[in-house]
């Protein structure tokens, strides 16, 4: 267990036994003890964030670079805040405003950022698997802030923390993930993380937005259910997590129209009433208000959407802290 008073420069070495990870590329390969260590470290970070002076010197002298090839508000902003709370220097880069626009390759861009002095690189990329291609070529710690449809590991960790914080446990909870599961890196990482921690995950959406592979995945993960009817899916749920509807799915013919999606898959107060009385409502953001979530549900008492964003800072502080410790070894 890491306590907040232990979070000083290089104290990260104390967790060396439980954390040997140089990069965070995915959540699939995290062990249960590693996930538990991230949760415990996040709690220590939350304590720091509750202080009047929300700063510790743990990453003093380190440089964190965020490199985003796609738009982001939450992930980029919270990584920047997290790094600053830990006293790191932060440089923000976007593909649009970098030499990527002049044709520089991904690997050469990363090596250039390292040459500038990056110790930790936080990268979002539209291509699934981009981080796996890049990792062997970089000496800095690399963190996946979202790659294509594939993975968004820190989102899954902050979602897990948010559920744990509200429910006190994960094992045995019914967690329903609704919407465009097929194209959602958030859904994929949450399915891996939540099933690993013992939740009963049900995915729900129109058949065109559910991966065929999930039928097979049910064999691998006995906890996973697949349901196209939202009323059946959310019945007695502990957690309902709606996903952002990506408008391009309608253009590509995977959905007949917005009105059909709302009629079939929006979480409104009538559907929320089918869940457990103490259920919580989640959404990774950005939310299309009154599409995935009815406005009164999004802003209602069961919604933990803002908690997810707040917890994102603490989870990302934990990840940066643990990675910085791995570089000390």
Binding residues for ligand CP (CB under 6 A):
72-75, 146, 152, 155, 284-286
CB of 185 to ligand CP, least distance (A): 8
CB of 315 to ligand CP, least distance (A): 12
CB of 51 to ligand CP, least distance (A): 26
Considering the complex, state which of residue 179 and residue 325 has its C-beta at the smaller distance from ligand CP: 179
Considering the complex, state which of residue 187 and residue 323 has its C-beta at the smaller distance from ligand CP: 187
Evaluate whether 166 touches 229 at the Cβ level (below 8 Å).
Answer: no
- Phi, psi at 169, each rounded to 5°: -160, 165
CB of 69 to ligand CP, least distance (A): 12
Considering the complex, state which of residue 224 and residue 305 has its C-beta at the smaller distance from ligand CP: 305
The one-character DSSP state at 313 is H
Residue 273 CA to residue 120 CA, distance in Å, equals 44
CB of 163 to ligand CP, least distance (A): 16
Tell me the β-bridge partners of 151. Answer: 147
Considering the complex, state which of residue 6 and residue 246 has its C-beta at the smaller distance from ligand CP: 246
Evaluate whether 110 touches 99 at the Cβ level (below 8 Å).
Answer: no
In 3D space, the residue among 246, 274, 275, 272 whose CA is nearest the CA of residue 261 turns out to be 246
CA distances from 40 to 28, 60, 76 (A): 19, 22, 23
Considering the complex, state which of residue 146 and residue 206 has its C-beta at the smaller distance from ligand CP: 146
Evaluate whether 283 touches 293 at the Cβ level (below 8 Å).
Answer: yes
């Amino acid at each position: 267990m890491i306590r907040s008073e232990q979070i000083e420069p290089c104290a990260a070495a104390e967790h060396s036994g439980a954390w040997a990870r140089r990069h965070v590329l995915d959540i699939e390969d995290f062990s249960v003890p590693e996930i538990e260590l991230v949760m415990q470290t996040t709690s220590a970070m939350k304590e720091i964030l509750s202080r009047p002076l929300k700063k510790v010197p743990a990453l003093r002298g380190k440089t964190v670079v965020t490199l985003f090839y796609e738009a982001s508000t939450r992930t980029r902003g919270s990584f920047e805040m997290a790094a600053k709370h830990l006293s790191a220097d932060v440089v923000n880069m976007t593909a649009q405003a970098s030499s990527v626009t002049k044709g520089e390759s991904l690997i050469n861009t990363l090596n250039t950022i390292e040459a500038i002095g990056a110790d930790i690189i936080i990268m979002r990329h539209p291509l699934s698997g981009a981080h796996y291609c890049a990792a062997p070529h970089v000496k800095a710690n690399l963190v996946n802030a979202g790659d294509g449809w594939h993975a968004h590991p820190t989102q899954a960790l902050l979602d897990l923390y948010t559920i744990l914080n509200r429910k006190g446990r994960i094992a045995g909870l019914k967690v329903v993930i609704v919407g465009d599961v097929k194209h959602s890196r958030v859904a994929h990482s949450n399915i891996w993380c939540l099933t690993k921690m013992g939740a009963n995950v049900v995915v729900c959406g129109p058949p065109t937005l559910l991966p065929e592979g999930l039928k097979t995945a049910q064999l691998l993960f006995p906890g996973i259910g697949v349901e196209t009817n939202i009323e059946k899916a959310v019945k007695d749920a502990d957690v309902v997590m709606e996903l952002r509807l990506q408008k391009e799915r309608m253009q590509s013919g995977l959905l007949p129209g917005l009105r059909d999606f709302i009629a079939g898959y929006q979480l409104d107060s009538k559907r929320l009433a089918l869940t457990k009385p103490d259920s919580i409502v989640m959404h990774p953001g950005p939310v299309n208000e009154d599409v995935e979530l009815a406005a009164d549900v999004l802003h209602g008492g069961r919604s933990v959407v803002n908690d997810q964003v707040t917890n994102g800072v603490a989870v990302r502080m934990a990840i940066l802290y643990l990675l910085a410790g791995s570089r000390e070894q």
